[in-house]
Structure 1
Amino acid sequence: MWGTPARSSMISHRAWFLFCVAIQTAPLSQSMADQHESIDLRSPPVDRPAGTGLGWFPRAPPPIYSCTLTPELVAKAREELQEKPEWRLRDVQALRDMILKEQPNLRTRLDDAFLLRFLRARKFDYDRALQLLLNYHAGRKAWPEVFHDLKPSTVKHVLDLGFLTVLPRPDPNGRYILCLRPGKWKPNDYPFVDNVRALYLTLEKLIQPEETQVNGIVILADYSGVGMSQASNPGPFLAKRVVSILQDGFPIRIKAVNIINEPRIFKGIFAIIKPFLKEKMAERYILHGSDLGSLHRNIPQSVLPEEYGGLEVQLDMSAWSRVLLDCDEEFIVEFCQPDPLEGVVLPDSMLFEGEQGSGQDDDTFRGLRSQLYYCY
C-alpha cells in the first residue's frame, strides 16, 4: 500500500494504466483512511509453474501480513533485533503514524510487511527506522540514472555477463550469499551504473523474505581479473554513493563481506572505499587472497560452488537471473512511479547530497589514483 494523496494530475499515464489494470485499493484502517487516502501498488500474485526460476527462492509475502518466521527465527529476532511478537504490529502502527504525521506528503508504501523491513534493520528504533526510510527514498531522488525505469529487463546484459548472482543455498546461519564478480565487467561493455542497478534490484528481491530481514546476507566478492581499468572507473563519488546506500539507505543487514582472489591493486580499491565505511562495517571485510581454506572457515564448502572449493555443482549464473526477470512486472509497480519525494520537505542534513561536493571528490580521486598505480 502506498500512502499518497489522490491527485491524478501527479500520476503519469503509464502509472495510471498500471493502476487501472493491476492494482487494487485497500484501506489500512478507518482511522488511517480518515487521515490519508491509500493506494495499493503491489502487483497481484502470479501463479507460476513448478520448475521456474522462483522455485528455490522464497516468494514475496502475502498482501496482508502474516508472520512467516519459524519459532527459532522469532527467538532470534527477539534477541538480536528487540522484536517482540506481541508488540510487532503495534510497533508498525507507531512508525506508520510517525510517517503520516511528520511526512504526510511522502509517497511510500505503508503496509505492515514493508515497514517491518525498516524496523528490523534499525532494531525497532522508531526514529532511526524513519530516517532509514527517508534515506531510502532520498537515494532514489539523488541518483536518477540508477532508479529511472528500474526493472530487471533493463539490466539483463549485466546478469548475462555474470557480474553478480545469489547462491541457491543459504549458509548454516540462514544467510543468502550474494556473489559479486567485478572482473567480469569491462568499462567498454556498458556504464558502471548498470552494475549498481542490478545490485539494487537484487537487494530488493533478497529483502522480501522475512528470513533475510532477520538473518541478513553475506557478500562474496571474487576479484579475479580485476585490473586498473575496473579499479579506477567508478571513482570515490560513485563509491561513496554505493556504500551510502548499503550502509544507511537500504533496510538490509550485511553480516560479512568476504573478498577472494584480490590482486595487489585491491589495496588501492579499498583505500577508495574505506573512508566511507563505518567502523562496524569495515570490520566485517575479510580478505582471503587465494586461500580457500580461509574462505571455508567463513563460508562452509557445503554451500559453495566447485569454483570456490565447494561441494555444490558449478556456479549457475542463470538461476538468479531467472528469479529477477520473472519479477519484471513487480518491479515496474515498485519503481516506475512518480517521484515519492515530490512535495516533501527533508531535513537540511540528509544522507545524499546530489552533485554537491563533487569537486572535493575529484581532488580525493586524484590522490587515490596515484595509490592505485602504485599498487598496480
Structure 2
Amino acid sequence: MAIVYSNENVKHFAEKFLNETEENKYKAIEEIKQWLDTLPHLRAKKDQASILCFLRGCKYNLELTKKKIQNFYVMKGERTEWFVNRNPRVPEISELLQLGVFVPLRKFSNNKLVVIIRTAAHDPKVHKQDDVFKAGKMVLDVAIQEYFENATVFGICAIFDMTNISLGHAKQLPPSTIRKAVFAWQNYYSRPKQLEFINAPTFINVVLNVFKSFMSDKLQGRVKVHFSGLESLHKVVSKEILPFEYGGNDCSMAELVQYWNQKVLQYSDWFVEDEKYRAQV
C-alpha cells in the first residue's frame, strides 16, 4: 500500500527534516516489521502506518526507532492504569472528556497538530490523575488517527493552560508520576515540538524544574512559559486558529469539547482493539 502525501510540500518537508524518501521508506518499514517478528512478546502493531509513526519520530534512525517502539509497548504493558479499559462511556472518563482536560484544535499551527491541555480543569478531590492521563491519551490517539500526517510529519504543539492550578493539583504530581508522564511524552508515536505554558502561577519554575529533570536536552529546549499573557502566545500560535477563550478567532472551547467527545465515542471499538497491542510484562 502506497503512503500518499497530501501535497508536494509535505513530501519535501518529510524528506528534508525527517530523512524520509521513496527509496528508504518502505525498506525501513519492512526492516522494522521483520525485527518485530522476532519479538512477539511486544505484541506491537505491524501495519505500515503504525511503524511509520515511529520512523518519522526518530528521523529514520533505525536503532532509535527500535528503542522507542520497545519503550512504547513496554509502557503500554506496564501502565495498565492508562492503557487498559479505555472506555469513553465509564463515568470517570466521560466526566473528564466533558470537562475538556485535553482538547485538540481543528486547525494547525505551521502544519503542527495543536492541543490545549487544561491542567486544572478537573477537581483533584474527585478525579484521579491517572484517569486524567488516560482520558488525555485517548483523545490524543484519536486526534493522531484523524490528523495522521500533521501529527506524524510536523509534530505536536502542546499548550498547557495552568489556570486555577492549586496545591491539590500539584499534590497529584509527585516526582514519580512526573517521571512517568515525561517518559510517555518522549516515547509516544508523535513528536512534541512545542510545549507552551500559559496562565502560569508564580511557582511555575519550581514545578517545571522537576519536569525538566526527566526531559532530554532537546525537549527541555522546547519548553516556553508565557508570563506576559496571551499576547506572547499569539506570537507562536496564530490567533486565527485559537478558540476565542484564548484570544483567538476560531470556535469556542465548548464546540471543540463536544466535537472530540463525539469522535472519541466513535473510536470505542478502536480502543478495544488497540488494548491488545502492549508488551507482556
Question: Normalising TM by the smaller chain, what interval?
Answer: over 0.9
Q: SS in structure 1 opposite 2:179?
A: helix
Q: Distance in 1 between matches of 2:42 and 2:233?
A: 43
Question: Quick one: which of 278, 284, 296 aligns to 2:216?
Answer: 278
Aligned residue in 1 for 2:24: 87
CA contact (8 A) 2:101 2:136 kept: no
| Runs of 4+ more than 6 Å apart | none
Does 1:187 pair with 2:127? Answer: no
Deviation at 1:190, TM superposition (A): 1.5
- Equivalent in 308, 313, 322 of residue 262 of structure 2: 322
Q: Structure 2 residue aligned with 1:311, among 229, 249, 272?
A: 249
Counterpart in the other structure of 2:107: 169
State percent identity of aligned pairs. Answer: 23
Task: Indicate yes or no: 2:8 matched with 1:71.
Answer: yes
- Unaligned residue ranges in structure 2 (runs of 5+): none
1:150-169 correspondence to structure 2 within 5 Å = 150-154=86-90, 155-169=93-107
Secondary structure of the residue aligned to 2:250 is: coil
For residue 290 of structure 1, report the CA deviation from its aligned partner: 4.6
| Residue 98 (1) aligns with residue 35 (2) | yes
Q: Matches of 1:105 and 1:236 in 2, distance apart?
A: 30
Structure 1 residues 28-75: Cα deviation after superposition (integer angstroms, max 9, x where no partner)? xxxxxxxxxxxxxxxxxxxxxxxxxxxxxxxxxxxx554244211010
Partner of 2:63: 127
Give CA deviations for 1:207-253 in whole Å, capped at 9, x if unaligned: 33123210101011111100111112221111100100111x21211
SS of alignment partner, residue 195 of structure 2: strand
- Aligned ranges 1:282-297 → 2 under 5 Å: 282-297=220-235
1:246 pairs with 174, 177, 185, which one? 185
The answer on whether the counterparts of 2:241 and 2:248 sit within 8 Å (CA) in structure 1 is yes
Larger proportion of helix? 2
Q: Given that residues 165 and 321 in structure 1 are in contact (C-alpha distance below 8 angstroms), is that contact kept between their aligned partners in structure 2?
A: no
In structure 2, relative to structure 1, the CA distance for the partners of 1:253 and 1:340 (3 Å cut) is closer
The equivalent of 1:234 in structure 2 is 173
Partner residue of 2:239?
Answer: 301
CA RMSD in angstroms, aligned pairs only? 1.7
TM norm structure 1: 0.70
Q: What CA distance in whole angstroms lies between the structure 2 residues aligned with 1:71 and 1:150?
A: 37
Unpaired segments of 5 or more residues in structure 1? 1-63, 345-376
Alignment of 1:209-224 (within 5 A): 209-224=148-163
Q: Provide closer, same or farther for how the CA distance between residues 183 and 100 of structure 1 changes in structure 2, counting only shifts above 3 A.
A: same
> Alpha-carbon deviation of 1:86?
3.0
* CA distance in 2: counterparts of 1:107 and 1:291, whole angstroms: 45
Task: Give, in whole Å, the separation in 1 of the partners of 2:15 and 2:241.
Answer: 27
Structure with bigger gyration radius: 1
**Contact (CA 8 Å) 1:151, 1:201: kept in 2 or not?**
no
Q: Read off the aligned partner of 1:256 and give its amino acid letter.
A: Q
Quote how far apart the aligned CAs of 1:174 are.
1.0
Alpha-carbon offset, residue 263 of structure 1: 0.8
8 Å CA contact retained: 1:228, 1:265: no
**Residue aligned with 1:188, SS:** coil
How far residue 188 of structure 1 moved from its aligned partner, in angstroms, is 1.3
Count of aligned pairs? 275
